Amino acid sequence: MTEAWIAHWTQGSDLSPGLITLKWALLLAAAALAGHLVQRLLGLPKLVGYAVFGTLAGLTGLASADWPLRGAGLTLLELGIAVLLFEAGARLSLRWLRHNPMVLAQSAVESLLTYAAAYLLLRALGLELAVVRALSVVAVASSPAVLLRAVSDLRASGPVTDRAIALATLNTLYALTLGTAMLRSIDRGDVTLLASLGASAGVLGISLLVGGALAALLRLGFRLLHPASQDTAIVILALIAACVAVTTPLGGSAPLAALLAGIVLKQFHPRPWVWPRQLGTAASMLSIAMFVLVSSMAAQAAWSGAMALAALGLTGARLLAKLASLLLTGPVSALSLRQSAWVGVAMFPMSAVALLLTSQFVAAAPTVGTSVTAIALPVILLTELLGAALVGLALVRAHEAAPPRRWREPPPAEVDAPETRP
C-alpha cells in the first residue's frame, strides 16, 4: 500500500490539482529550509541549497513534471524568468553603456567566442548541424537569475558584481533572440544567414513592442502609486504576468519582452529603485520554485557515456571561452585582469533560460530536441550546482562581499602580559 502511494505521488501528471498544490507547497518549504541551512552552516548562497534539494527531488521523482514543459510548469518557469529578467533589465543603464561603450564590445566578443567554442567542439564530436546550432545558442546564456540571488544573499556590490550582471543580462538577450528565432527552422538545414537574421529581428521587434507597452503601463502606474506600496507590487506582478501571456502567441519571447521592459523603464527612472517588500517576497517564492523546477528537471536527464563526455567538454569549453574573452577585453573596458578573471568565473552558471530554450527546442523538433536535451540538461545541472558556489567565491575574492564567518581566519590568540611586581 505504501509503495503504491509513493509511486502515485511521484507521478505528478496523474495527481489531482489539490495534491499537486500540496506536493509543491511542501517542496518549496523544504527548499527554503535547505537554502537557509546552507547559508547559515556553510556560508554559501541560498541558491546552492535550492539546487541541491531540487536535484534530489528530481532524482527521487518527487518533483516530476512533463517534458518538454507545458501547462502550469511552463507558465511557472516563464513567469519566474520574466520577473527576474525584468529586475536584471532594470539594473542595466543605457547611459552607463554610452559612457563606457566597450562594455557592449566586451559583451559581443564574449558571446561570439562562447558560441564559436561550443560550435567547434560539438562539430568535432560529430553531432548534427541543427543540434550543434541549438546547443551553441544555449551555451551563450549565463544566468542573471543566479547572479541576482547570490548578490542579494551575500549583499555584494562593486565593479565585478555590476559587470557580471550586465554581461549576463546582455548575453541572455542575445540567446533569447537567436534561440526563439531558431525554433522556426531548427529542423531545416537550408536556412540562410539572411533568413536567420530576419527571423531574429522579428522576434526582437515584437518583444520590444510588448516590452515597451509594459514599460509605459508601469510608468503610468508609478505616477499614481507610491513606489513602496503593496498595490505597486501587485500591479508590477500582474502586468508582467500579462506580458508572459500575450508575447509568445504574437511571435515574440516573453522573458525577452520583460527584460526589454526593465531596460526601457530604467531610462525613465535612472535612480536606484525602491522595490516593494511584497514584490521581493513574491519574487523570492517564484525564484525558489523556478530553481527547484530547473534542477529537478535537469536531474532527470538520461545519462550516457558519450553524452556525458560531450556535456563535460561543452562545460569546460564554455568556461574557458568566457574567461579568455574577458581577459582579452577587460583592460580596455575599465577592468583589471584580476577583476576580469572573477567576472569570468561569475559568468559560469546556466539555469532557467537555458532550460526554457531546451524545452522549446524539444517541442519544436522532437528528433533534434532529443539530442539537445541529452547534452543540455547535464550541463545545466552541473553549472547550476557549481555555479552558485563559484559566484559566491568570485564575489568574496573580489572583495565585494563579506566572507562568511566560517571562511574568516580566527583572530590571533591574546597573550597575557607578564605580571610585574611593584
pLDDT digits (tens, 9 = 90+) for 288-306: 999 999 999 998 887 777 8
Q: Report the candidate in 388, 384, 307, 386 with the shortest Cα–Cα distance to residue 135.
A: 307
Q: At the topology level of CATH, where does 17-397 sit? A: Na+/H+ antiporter like fold (1.20.1530)
Contact partners, residue 261, CB within 8 Å, separation at least 6: 86, 89, 210, 211, 212, 214, 215, 218, 240, 243
Q: Global pTM?
A: 0.90
pLDDT at 7: 53
Distance CA 364, CA 366 (A): 6
Instruction: Compute how many other C-beta atoms are within 10 angstroms of the C-beta atom of residue 363.
Output: 15
pLDDT at 15: 64
Mean pLDDT in residue range 131-156 = 93
SS3 of the chain: helix, strand, coil, percent, to 5: 75, 0, 25
Q: How far is CA 213 from the centre of its chain?
A: 24
Distance CA 244, CA 88 (A): 16
Cell of 330: 577587460
412 pLDDT higher than 60: no
The identity of residue 353, as a single letter, is V
CB 366 within 8 A of CB 183: no
Distance CA 306, CA 304 (A): 6
In this predicted model, what pLDDT tens digit does every residue of 165-194 receive, in sequence order? 999 999 999 999 999 999 877 776 656 656
Cell of 167: 554581461
Cell of 418: 607578564
CB 150 within 8 A of CB 395: yes
pLDDT at 106: 95
Coil, strand or helix: which one is 181? helix
**Backbone dihedral angles phi then psi of residue 171, each to the nearest 5 degrees:** -70, -25
282 pLDDT higher than 90: no
pLDDT bin (cut points 50, 70, 90) of residue 275 is low
**Backbone dihedral angles phi then psi of residue 114, each to the nearest 5 degrees:** -65, -45
Mean pLDDT in residue range 327-351 = 94
